[in-house]
Every structure is written in C-alpha cells, then in structure tokens.
Amino acid sequence: MSATAQGDDAAVAIATRVAQVRAHVAATARSHGRDPGEVAIVAVAKTHPPEALRAAVAAGLRDLGENQVQELVAKRPHVDGAVWGAVWHLVGPLQRNKVAQVAGTGVLVHTLDRRSLADALSRRARERGELQRVLVQVNVAGDPAKHGCSLAEAGELVTYARGLPSLRVEGMMTIPPLPAPGEDPDGSARPHFAALRALRDEVRSQHPEVVHLSMGMSADVDAAIAEGATLVRLGTAVFGERGDGPWRGDGR
Ligand SMILES: *Cc1c(COP(=O)(O)O)cnc(C)c1O
C-alpha cells in the first residue's frame, strides 16, 4: 500500500473515533444534566504525526494537546500551516528553559504549579506583548512523585499568578493517581475530580475568570464529566494506541 493510502486509512480511523468520542462525551454530559457544549475535547497527540492532528481537526476537533514542548513546537507548523483554527494546549510539565518557546504564542498551559514558572511565563509573554493563559495544576493526591501544587497551596498560587501583568488564570487541572490493578478507573479518580471541583468553586467565588476544570483522560473521562470537567484530555480514544516515542519530525 502506498504511503498516501496508509495516511488516508489513518485519517478515516481518526474521523471515526472522533465521531464516537464526541457522541460519547455529549451523551455523558447530558446524562449528568450538563450542556454538551460545556465540555471540550483536547486531543492529546503525543507520539502521533502531524497528519493525525490534521485529521482530528478535519473531523471537527479544535483543541490539540501535547505533553512535551519539543513535540508541540515540532508539529505546530505542520498543522497550523495546513488547517485553520487549531488551539494548542500544553498538558505536560514545563521547564524554565522551555518557557520562551511557548509563552505568548497562544498555547493554553495546563501545568502552572509554582511561582517561579508563573514569573517566567508572564515575563516572556509580556516581552511579546501577549497574554499567557494558564491553568493551575493541582496534585490532589499529594503524591510527592507527581507534578502540581498541593490543594492547600493552590489558592495562593492563583492569587499570585493573577497579580502578574501578563498571565490569565482560567482554571485548574489535575491528573489522578493510576488505579490499582483491577480497580475501576472512574471510581478511583472520581474523589480527586470532586476535590478539584470544590477547590475551583471556592476560588471562582473570588476570581470569576477561573472557570475551567481540565480533568479526565480516556480511561476516566466519565467520572470527570460527572464532576464538572470543561476540558477532557483524550489521547488513545481519539488517536488509538501511542507510538514508541515523541514525534521529532525526522522522518519517523
Ligand atoms: C497522554 C496524556 C493524556 C491522554 O491520555 P489517554 O489515556 O491516552 O487519553 C491526558 N493528559 C495528559 C497530561 C497526558 O500526558
């Protein structure tokens, strides 16, 4: 089979999955009395080539997520140059030395978890004359091996970040611990999602722009929607199984 025919097959498979995922997310939202329009799907594309992202946009998704800056920056020109209207999300950790590559470039950063990163993002965005949109990542479980600020620190970090000239805090994000073997992922994640929602509600009562709840991946999206997710981060459900490593644009 030619490379083009393979690409067409992949695009058809993605279009099919996108339709299924959108229907599932909408039905789940309705079953919890929510407006499906409140829940956006962020298609998390790590390891997949730009063709796959273009197929997801062509199939009607708008929000594209990467968990590594390098991968986002490598793919972005191949997507933005070919399809219109994609919105980029960084859903993985951001190191200070990579801040300049994203700040002020229209990427919604889901992973603000410390003051020094807020300072660096704001400074770089300001140099570009742009506003940097962020979500505060919260380590609800308090797992020391994981990224994110603690539940107790989150309110203070939001207040700090709001005080910086070029940051706009639009919500909160969390990644729950992996379920134990045999445990139901929705059941194990749900209390973490509920805790993030309660925190968001509290912060939002003082800062009305803090609206988003980025929570839910392919295995626990139902619990996330039940608890009020506005951004669900779906990789496997949209693109299928992941490849071996990041896409670097070097012919892989
Ligand atoms: C990869 C990734 C996802 C998507 O995971 P799936 O289980 O494939 O849906 C969501 N969020 C983050 C932070 C990720 O790195």
197-246 tens-digit pLDDT: 999 999 999 999 999 999 999 999 999 999 999 999 999 999 999 999 99
- Condensed to tens digits (0 to 9), the pLDDT of residues 70-129 reads 999 999 999 999 999 999 999 999 999 999 999 999 999 999 999 999 999 999 999 999
pTM of the full structure: 0.96
Q: At what angle do helices 50-58 and 69-80 cross, to 10 degrees?
A: 60
pLDDT range class, residue 7, cuts 50, 70, 90: confident
Cα 82 to Cα 152: distance, rounded to the nearest angstrom: 44
Residue nearest to atom 13 of ligand 1 (CA): 91
Whether 180 has a pLDDT exceeding 80, the answer reads yes
Give me ligand 1 centre to Cα 228, in Å. 18
Handedness of CA 69, 221, 151, 211 (dihedral sign): positive
Query: Residue 152: CA atoms inside 13 Å, Cβ hemisphere, count?
Result: 1
pLDDT band at 3 (very low <50, low <70, confident <90, very high): low
Q: CA 229, CA 34: separation in Å to the nearest integer?
A: 10
3 versus 98: the higher-pLDDT residue is: 98
Q: What is the largest CA-CA distance in the chain?
A: 58
- Closest atom of ligand 1 to 92 CA is 13
Does the pLDDT of residue 144 top 90, yes or no? no
The CB of 46 under 6 Å from ligand 1? The reply is yes
Q: Is the CB of 235 under 6 A from ligand 1?
A: yes
Is the minimum distance from the CB of 105 to ligand 1 under 6 angstroms? no
Banded pLDDT at 1 (limits 50, 70, 90): low
